[in-house]
Amino acid sequence: MCGIVGLFLKDKSLEPRLGAMLTDMLVTMTDRGPDSAGIAIYGDGNAALSKLTVQSDQADADFATLAADLGAAIGAEVDLRRADSHAVLSLPADKAEHARAALAELRPGLRVMSDGANVEIYKAVGLPKDVAARFNLAAMSGTHGIGHTRMATESAVTTQGAHPFSTGSDQCLVHNGSLSNHNNWRRKLRREGVRIESQNDTEVGAAYLTWKMQNGASLGEALEGTLEDLDGFFTFVVGTKNGFGVVRDPIACKPAVMAETDQYVAFGSEYRALVNLPGIEAARVWEPEPATVYFWSH
């Protein structure tokens, strides 16, 4: 089943409340997906720096001297900010690929959740309210974000199988549904050089968009491509550095509700997820059409 939420702010005065609003939406969707949860949040960024969000099952040991070890390996200053099993490493943007390779050597058990100037991704197994509390998601601020409560269908209940998936810098995707041709696309995209780390179908959807955009497509064009190339059921909600997109497959079994006001665009699997948003009573609320791409950008 899965629950997905998204919030794209137009009104800067709401930015300090982004994490709190998204967390509330996420927790409301618990009964659509109680096995794991995740959130991607686009916050302050510096184009010269890259933020690598990393996760470890042995966080105490792995994170203790990580900033110094990684800094020495890549010859640059690395800042580390820890949140439970995750840490955000800030380092010069031109060292990001070098840092990934160095991390694989230095801490083989570490997983990179996301990289980019703005995005941070936090995800874990467990009830959404517990996951949100572990990372103190409610305190985060930002311009836009997406979240997911998972009911696993296509891969194991692990942190690695939780959404959102990020396969490109500042890109991420959450998905309600199941793709039926993800194995073929995983092989094809890997041959094209796109990094795919799990057996999860959604990661292939994310990688597909990354590949399209690497080849010059806009977010809107990349989303159009999913309608041609991906088989199965899907409602995708996608984040980029300054954009937010939604697309549903042509059958559109998976539920979706959107709301727009002068202050924000919001997405929820169900209307319940939206009821605490400011001004929702006066918002334009609609169900996105099947096989139709919606996107917004700052």
Q: How far is the CB of 275 from other proteins (least distance, A)?
A: 4
Q: Can residue 79 be called a binding residue for other proteins (CB under 8 A)?
A: no
∠ CA 259-172-136, rounded to 5°? 80
Q: Which of 44, 77, 221, 287 is close enough to bind other proteins by CB under 8 A? A: 287
In the bound complex, what is the minimum distance in angstroms from residue 281's beta carbon to other proteins? 8
| Residue 264 bridge partners (DSSP) | 9
Contacts of residue 43, defined as CB under 8 A and 6 or more positions apart, other chains included, come to: 118, 120, 140, 141, 142, 143
Site map (CB under 8 A) of other proteins, residues 252-281, x = contact: xx-x-x------------xxxxxx------
- Residue among 12 and 284 whose Cβ is closer to other proteins: 284
Closest-CA residue to 18 (of 34, 6, 33, 31): 6
Q: Does 26 bind other proteins (CB under 8 A)?
A: no
Q: Which tokens belong to 168?
A: 């490109």
Q: Check if the beta carbon of residue 155 is closer than 8 Å to that of residue 104.
A: no
Q: Which of 1, 2, 92, 127 is catalytic?
A: 2
CA distances, 58 to each of 108, 114, 141, 214 (Å) = 11, 19, 27, 34
Of 232, 285, 292, 297, the one binding other proteins (CB under 8 A) is: 285
Total residues contacting other proteins by CB under 8 A comes to 15
For 17-41, b/e burial (b = at least 16 CB within 10 A) is bbbbbbbbbbbbbeebbbbbbbbbb
Rounded least distance, CB 235 to other proteins, Å: 12
**In terms of CB distance, is 152 or 285 closer to other proteins?**
285
Task: Clarify whether 253 is annotated catalytic.
Answer: no
Residue 270 CB, shortest distance to other proteins, in Å, is: 6
Tell which phi-psi region holds residue 75, choosing left (phi > 0), alpha (psi between -120 and 50) or beta: left
290 binds other proteins, rule: CB under 8 A? yes
Q: Does 190 bind other proteins (CB under 8 A)?
A: no
Q: Are 148 and 174 in contact (CB under 8 A)?
A: yes
Catalytic residues: 2
Q: Which residues bind other proteins (CB under 8 A)?
A: 252-253, 255, 257, 270-275, 285-287, 289-290
